[in-house]
Amino acid sequence: MSSGADRLELRHAVERHYDSLAFLYRLFWGEHVHHGLWPVRGGSPKDAQVRLVSHLAQRAGIAGGERVLDVGCGYGAAARWLAANHECCVIGITISRAQARQARRRNRRDGRDDAVAIIRGDAAALPVCERRFDIVWVIECLEHLAEKGEFIRRATRTLVPGGRLALCSWQDGGRGDGLVEAVCDAFLCPSLATAAEYRAWCETAGLEIRCQEDLTARVLDTWKVLVRRVSRPWARPLRWLVGHDVRRFVDGFPIIARAYETGAMTYGLLVARQPA
């Protein structure tokens, strides 16, 4: 991704993607738009997704009542979970108007709109509110940003002393066999970063690494479930009702599964702390 114009074009494509696919995401994946975490083979995908959220919360040391900035909040499912289970006060930000609308509707329906606010905005232009949040929470959004290191630098400034950046991300496994590029192309990512790059960006920003985990083996079933769901007889005709971009996206499911299986990609969790 070379120029500012390319970056803007990609940002618009990401926005259109999440706006236009809101219906399909809800149909095939539910209100959490991220991988699940499986302890063993099988189990419900929804449980697995909540398990990932709960695992990240545990690793981030969320104890209750934290002020959280949820970057790339999707439909606000993780934000509501944090409010319901840990009495957190959450501001969620998403590039997608459709997601923001549905998230606000869902907050009202669940009686969470006092604790969860949703803003439609661009994480790449995050206004820096110095020392405002206990947690900056990012599940699978940085994949879509070109300047990941710059995002981490700005996010760090919004953390109070002792505050944590809690991150789950698709990562480049460093094999250089072209699979990562194919995944980036299908899923509108300018690039994926390696686990080492995430670590280095956090350290450069002045954060202390608290924990870094490779969860690849535990998230892999996500793509098996999704490939199965889009292959169901009633779902197949949908393929011809949607546009080229969506078909490319769906055709990316087996590619990403292969990238994880071969080690071309990994799935990582990282928690880093602002020194007190």
Ligand X SMILES: C[S@@+](CC[C@H](N)C(=O)[O-])C[C@H]1O[C@@H](n2cnc3c(N)ncnc32)[C@H](O)[C@@H]1O
Which range binds ligand X by CB under 6 A, 27-35, 39-47, 171-179, 222-230?
27-35
Nearer to ligand X, 12 or 236 (CB): 12
Q: Is residue 74 within the footprint of ligand X (CB under 6 A)?
A: yes
Instruction: Kindly state whether residue 95 participates in binding ligand X, applying the rule CB under 6 A.
Output: yes
Applying CB under 6 A, what is the total number of residues that bind ligand X?
24
The CA distance from 137 to 141, in Å, is 10
Among 62, 82, 83, 93, binds ligand X (CB under 6 A): 93
Q: Which stretch binds ligand X (CB under 6 A): 26-34, 60-68, 80-88, 104-112?
A: 26-34
Window 145 to 164, contacts with ligand X (CB under 6 A)? 145
Task: Name the one range near ligand X by CB under 6 A: 90-98, 217-225, 243-251, 264-272.
Answer: 90-98
Of 73 and 88, nearer to ligand X (C-beta) is 73
CB of 237 to ligand X, least distance (A): 25
Which residue lies nearer to ligand X by CB, 145 or 152? Answer: 145
Among 32, 106, 148, 154, binds ligand X (CB under 6 A): 32
Q: 10 Å Cβ neighbour count for 199?
A: 17
Q: Across the strands, what pairs with 70?
A: 92, 137
Report d(CA 123, CA 259) in Å as an integer.
27
**Could you say whether residue 33 binds ligand X (CB under 6 A)?**
yes
Measuring CA to CA, which residue among 157, 148, 105, 98 is closest to residue 127? 157
| Residues in contact with ligand X, shown as a per-residue x/- string from 108 to 147 under the rule CB under 6 A | --------------xxx--------------xxx--xx--
Which residue number, 18 or 38, has a Cβ lying nearer to ligand X?
Answer: 18
Of 206 and 216, nearer to ligand X (C-beta) is 216
Residues 210-249 that bind ligand X (CB under 6 A): none
Q: Is 269 in the site for ligand X (CB under 6 A)?
A: no
Q: Which residues lie near ligand X (CB under 6 A)? A: 11, 14, 18, 32-34, 72-74, 77-78, 93-96, 99, 122-124, 139-141, 144-145
